Amino acid sequence: MDEIFSYIPIILKYVVGAGIGLLVVISLIRLFSNEPDGKVSFTAYFIPVIPLFLILVFGINFIAAFIAGLIYGFISTYQKSSLNILIRSILDGGAVVMPAVALMLGIGMLLNAVMGPPAAMMESFKDGWPVLLLLKPVLVAIKPESAMGYVILFSLAAPLALYRGPLNVWGMGYGIAAIFLAGGMPAGAIMGLLMAVGQIQGISDPTNTQNVWLANEMKIDVQKILWNTLPYTWLQL
């Protein structure tokens, strides 16, 4: 029985591969057999799942899979103006995402500076990563000693969750949490403060991809989203 089940992934790959091949053949036949009549072929409905099948079933690199999906989409929906639409979509799409890409590159540099290199490369730093060693005395000094101090301090410091800051679980938060933990702060209290300020990060943070795209779509500065939503998210916190 186990031997039979071991053939299932192989059979699945052959079935999915044959299905994708058949869809491509049908799309090519439609492309070369006659002039496209403006109607949407049934093969076009498979465009969103082609990259997913290539990634999940065949383990193809996601960039290559999405490029293959783009080519399949072009073939399966081909019209006289398809090439112009494809080129214009690539240019417009690039213009929309470039602010988010540049922002994420800057955030990545900041995170690497704070978190340090991987463990395999830390042999040169016997005492620990120098940046964290410099931050540790400061954070230990401001660590609250009472429940009321804990609530007041981190309520006032909640905006530090913005811009992938020290209270941001998707940013420098884990590095700062490690310092708090080393300073004697309970793990539950650290998790509580990071989760509590997450509302500000999730809604108001201008580094969130959805906020950058929304600002680009509405032709406004992403900082306007921050200032319009921050009072409400901070008060809710």
Distances, alpha carbon 158 to alpha carbons 9, 91, 118, 182, 224, in Å: 48, 38, 29, 21, 19
Contact of 171 with 211, CB cutoff 8 Å: no
Helix (H/G/I), strand (E/B), else coil: 77: coil
HSE value, Cβ hemisphere, 13 Å, CA-based, for 104: 11
Tell how far CA 130 is from the center of its chain: 28
Residue 212: per-residue pLDDT: 80
pLDDT at position 5 over 70:
no
35 — pLDDT class (breaks 50, 70, 90): low
Residue 34: per-residue pLDDT: 64
Identify the residue with better confidence: 211 or 35: 211
Residue written as token pair 């811009």 = 163
Residue 127: per-residue pLDDT: 74
Tokens of 47: 């465009």
Residue 22: per-residue pLDDT: 92
pLDDT at position 36 over 60:
no
Parse the chain into domains and list their residue ranges. 2-80, 104-236
51 — pLDDT class (breaks 50, 70, 90): very high
Cβ-Cβ contacts under 8 Å for 172 (sequence gap 6 or more) = 110, 111, 114, 115, 164, 165, 166
Say what the pTM is: 0.55
Residue 100: per-residue pLDDT: 66
Q: Average pLDDT of 127-131?
A: 76
pLDDT at position 83 over 80:
yes
Q: What is the pLDDT of residues 165-182, one digit of tens each?
A: 778 777 777 667 777 776
67 — pLDDT class (breaks 50, 70, 90): very high
